Chain A
Amino acid sequence: MSEEILSLTAAQAAERVRTGELSATELFETYRERAAGEDLNAFLWVADEAPDAADGPLGGLPLAVKDLFCVEDVPSAAGSRILEGYRPPYTATAVRKLREAGATVLGKTNQDEFAMGSSNENSGYGPVQNPWDRERVPGGSSGGSAAAVAAGLAPWAIGTDTGGSIRQPAALCGIVGLKPTYGAVSRYGMIAFASSLDQCGPLTRDVTDAALLFKHVVGRDRCDSTSLEFPEQVALPSAERLDGMRFGVPPELSGEGVEPGVREVFERALRTIEDLGGSLEELSLPHSPHGIAAYYVIAPAEASANLARYDGVRYGPRSGNGDLTEMYEQTRHAGFGPEVRRRIMLGTYALSSGYYEAYYGRAQRVRTKIAEDFKAAFEKVDLIVTPTSPTVAFKLGERTADPLAMYMSDYCTVPMPLAGIPAISIPGGLSEGLPVGIQLAGPAFSENRIFEGAYALEQAIGFEGVPVA
């Protein structure tokens, strides 16, 4: 029975719970045992017991939640030692909405500290192993969520994406990950990294599950001034063909820097698109190569302010001998890891008097140019297709000494959040036995179109997940 339960997608499991074929308690307990006994370091906290049966369309479905989502009375540390033991007094809107639809929090998943990283090696609680190859990273920053879903420790998960933090780990773990349109999902209760970029989204086994989760999490929230009402009903995808759909292929994001094995899978996906009736068009996104540079000014700048609240005054551990300045310095030095410290310094510098225009001001103009590129592109095509990550999952430790190499992991995923547009990563196949992600991006609020395109492609590709151990 257990194996059968594990083979179900979230949508299938929800359907069985709804028809009474499967008890919500059994479903939850199956996953709870796996999550509690896992050895990938994917979970930082797992629920003690199955809660009472929950009503709603997602009746009893266990949900893995990235650590940075605040859940009342549940440890929520954003992967950082500076929030060790912190249990928030309130629950994030995204989690609340999913709970109201019947989902149950299974556990909190590991992540790069404050979502700063592309390998999950920046977690204050140790790295996560990739279930495809335990010597490799799962990607990041939502590495725990991605590994948990890929390894069948959870039916699905939520994560956050700032520069690729959902899509890149989804790609490296062979699952589906969606970064929604900026504003589609409330950020209230999401421990902030870079406020103008952060978005909550699903990490799931297939496109249908991603659409199902997204359907229950979208919408304007009066607690988040930047959230917006989704302009249409979120529909579960069903199209098997791509007839009439135009796909743009930007050479800037699919050529140089993409390793041959990934390019091979990508090109196979392009042929599949054509086989399904879609058309391909090469089109340029001339400013997207500057995305990484702009991103690594804007995101650290915002982070430098967002992380100023961790001062030891109101919550979290406090260090020092009673002197104010020492309390700040020692608390923050002990609490933040090296990458977080690096980005706080980068961001502080970029906002400093005399440098603001040269860095922050300029990065914002690049951001505008990148958004304009996409706008022009979507006048010609319906979706843009690129590889999600230039490489497959790399070895643990391989890039930790070289921040720039690590930053380049997000080369293909960074332009979309800078433009505020949605993008999905779906598994395209394997290269050297490791998953390769295909990214589909569309205009703002085109998630339904993205799901349709991704679903047709997914059906044709027929990717098999990691053999569940």
Chain B
Amino acid sequence: MTDGAAREYEPVIGLEIHCQLKTRTKMFCGCALSFGDEPNTHICPVCLGHPGSLPVTNEKAVEYGLMIALALGCEIATRSIFHRKNYFYPDLPKGYQISQYDIPLASGGRLGDVRIHRVHLEEDAAKLVHAGASGRIHGSEASVVDFNRGGTPLVEIVTEPDLRSAEEAAEFGRLLQATLRQMGVSDAHMEEGSLRADANVSIRPAGEAIFGTKTELKNMNSWSFLRRGIQAEIQRQEEILRAGEGVEQETLHFDPQTGALSPLRSKEEAHDYRYFPEPDLVPLAPTEDMRESAKAAIPELPAQRAERFESELGLTEETARVLAHRFELGDFYEQAMAAGDGAADPTTLANWVKNELVPRVGDSEPDQWKVEPAALARLVALVGEKAVSQSAAKEVLDALVSDGGDPQAIVDAKGLAAAGADELADVVDRALAANPDVVEKLKADPGSKAVGAIVGAVMRETKGRADGGAVQRLIRERIG
């Protein structure tokens, strides 16, 4: 509850996450998964929906689905059923998507404080590219289909409507993303579309038990867009209710550039998907062996990792959570720790990652980061050795984040090495000589805040390369 308006209305949010599984082959055929390859090079009669072709379930995708279900504490169905979800669209070669409907792979789990409604397996659609101004199929000059993506295994994870703010939703999304990545079952890369999030949003008067009418926000491709989209939608719904009108059930698109919400389709246009059991597939009945091997394949998950960071490394709960709930940060931190050969102080290094690295890399994906974990470890070590000052180190980190490289080399190239004792003594002496009034004050009161004027002068002179503590010691010696 961050502002006055939200005290009157309580948002109710649930998420639907679609995540591409990182299997070698597609969900129902032997074609390799690909990203960014030449269009229509990973295709076969099955994923093109040729007459007479039949689907065969990818066992690895089932294993990954089971791992996800178990990691989320879900109950796995003894016999789950694939259904056909029927609708016409050029990116759907069979005219139906093979998905799961009334009996999903798993249901009823929990991640953090959020209950998981269901986890099911399905296949992804192909990719449409529209020529012309509209960017959509209607009104485009031409549309082409790349079937490489068609048939990629997807897991759909649906939460209960347990989230109460846009921030909570984004935080949960990050934790889920970290959990999926940690298991190696998905790249879970939002910009590339291997993780797609839809949000169901409604609001109700605070304290009310009945849900309001919900709207669905489709396909937000970063957690900050999701957060902003939900915030905008909550605000929109509040305005509608305050005006005494009713929220209409519809699907909305959030434009992160303009912040505008626009309807994709309304309830009247909602499809009748005519679900029925897929007769080409037998029910999915995971054996005890399959469950056991899925269970054994689950590594340490973010929640457990956060606990370990707290108990073994002595990090605060908040720092541990920030690092562990973002898979790549946790990995970065642990790699940096390992690179320091145990010499680094875990809390100091963690604070550098959390307070300095995170604001610099933002939401970007780790494969775009230029700074190496070992480089950060060396930088922190240089600070510890007082070879660079805190402020100079931050400048070095700026350079590491934008260009990569070795911290020592950057220090040398930019002349950022901490000022040596002889140099520093000269500078301090000059500063004292230039400020006789301050010297008088300090003689009268050694604890006087006037010392700051001398320290400041020294810092200016050394361009921040001096260690503040060392400067203070020198001043005291001289005045002493």
Contacts and interface: CB of A to CB of B under 8 A. Distances in A.
A16 B86 CA distance: 52
Counting contact residues on chain A (CB < 8 A from B), the size range is: 35 or more
Given A225-B281, A308-B94, 5 more contacts: A76-B52, A224-B280, A305-B274, A309-B93, A351-B274
Contact of B49 (A187, A301, A309): A309
Interface of A: 68-70, 76, 78, 83, 86, 88-90, 92, 187-192, 194-196, 222-226, 301-302, 304-305, 307-309, 311, 313-315, 324, 328, 348, 351-353, 356, 360
A192 B52 CA distance: 6
Given A305-B95, A314-B93, A191 B51 contact: yes
Interface stretch (B14-22, B53-61, B169-177): B53-61
A311 B51 contact: no
A352 B52 contact: no
Contacts of B57: 225
Interface in B83-121: 84, 86, 88, 90, 93-96
B276 A305 contact: yes
B48 interface: yes
A328 B88 contact: yes
Contacts of A315: 50
A309 B95 contact: yes
Contacts of A348: 274
Given A90-B45, A195-B280, A68 B52 contact: yes
A92 B48 CA distance: 16
26 contacts: A68-B51, A76-B51, A78-B51, A83-B51, A88-B45, A88-B50, A88-B51, A89-B50, A188-B54, A189-B53, A191-B52, A223-B54, A224-B54, A224-B280, A225-B54, A225-B56, A225-B282, A226-B282, A305-B274, A305-B276, A308-B88, A309-B93, A311-B90, A313-B90, A351-B275, A356-B274
Query: Looking at B55, B272, B274, B280, which has the most chain A CB atoms within 10 Å of its CB?
Result: B274
Nearest to A82: B51
A304 B54 CA distance: 16
Given A196-B279, A351-B86, A313 B54 contact: no
B52 A223 contact: no
A74 to B, nearest CB: 13
B52 A188 contact: yes
Contacts of A307: 95
A308 B96 contact: yes
B128 to A, nearest CB: 11
A364 to B, nearest CB: 9
A302 B90 contact: no
Nearest to B142: A322
A158 to B, nearest CB: 14
Contacts of A224: 54, 56, 280
Interface residues of B, number: 31
B148 to A, nearest CB: 14
Nearest to B147: A314
A250 B272 CA distance: 41
A109 B276 CA distance: 32
Query: Looking at B84, B137, B280, B282, which has the most chain A CB atoms within 10 Å of its CB?
Result: B280
B290 interface: no
Contacts of A78: 51
Interface of B: 45, 48-57, 84, 86, 88, 90, 93-96, 137-138, 143, 145, 272, 274-276, 279-282
A305 B277 CA distance: 11
A83 B53 CA distance: 15
Q: Looking at chain A's contact residues, is the secondary structure mostly helix, strand, loop, or mixed?
A: loop
B51 A70 contact: yes
Contact of B272 (A76, A196, A352): A352
Contacts of B282: 225-226
A180 B324 CA distance: 58
B200 to A, nearest CB: 20
Nearest to B49: A309
Contacts of A302: 276, 279
B145 A313 contact: yes
Contacts of A196: 279
A53 B281 CA distance: 38
B88 A70 contact: no
**Considering the complex of A and B, which 7 residue pairs feature the smallest CB-CB distances, nearest first?**
A308-B95, A195-B279, A351-B274, A196-B279, A191-B51, A189-B52, A309-B49
Query: Looking at B57, B90, B143, B275, which has the most chain A CB atoms within 10 Å of its CB?
Result: B90
Contact of A187 (B50, B54, B86): B54
A311 B86 contact: no
A69 to B, nearest CB: 8
A305 B50 contact: no
Nearest to B91: A313
Contacts of A301: 276
A55 to B, nearest CB: 27
Nearest to A92: B52
A78 B50 CA distance: 13
A196 B88 CA distance: 22
A190 B280 CA distance: 12
Contacts of A308: 86, 88, 94-96
A76 B52 CA distance: 10
Contacts of A76: 51-52
A68 B49 CA distance: 15
Contacts of B45: 88-90
B34 to A, nearest CB: 19
Contacts of B137: 324
Contacts of A225: 54-57, 280-282
A311 B95 contact: yes
A8 B204 CA distance: 82
A284 B48 CA distance: 46
A313 B144 CA distance: 10
A226 B145 CA distance: 30
Given A88-B45, A308-B88, A351 B54 contact: no
Contacts of A192: 51-52, 280
Contacts of B94: 305, 308-309
B407 to A, nearest CB: 55
A85 to B, nearest CB: 13
Query: Looking at A195, A196, A313, A328, which has the most chain B CB atoms within 10 Å of its CB?
Result: A313
Nearest to B96: A305
A113 to B, nearest CB: 13
A127 to B, nearest CB: 23
Query: Looking at A88, A225, A356, which has the most chain B CB atoms within 10 Å of its CB?
Result: A225
A269 B54 CA distance: 41
B86 A305 contact: yes
Contacts of A195: 279-280
A43 to B, nearest CB: 20
A192 B95 CA distance: 14
B276 A360 contact: yes
A307 B54 CA distance: 14
A278 B145 CA distance: 62
Query: Looking at B45, B53, B94, B96, which has the most chain A CB atoms within 10 Å of its CB?
Result: B53
A190 B88 CA distance: 23
Contacts of A194: 279
Contacts of A324: 90, 137-138, 143
Nearest to A224: B54
Contacts of B95: 305, 307-309, 311
B41 to A, nearest CB: 15
Nearest to B138: A324
A301 B84 CA distance: 11
B52 A70 contact: yes
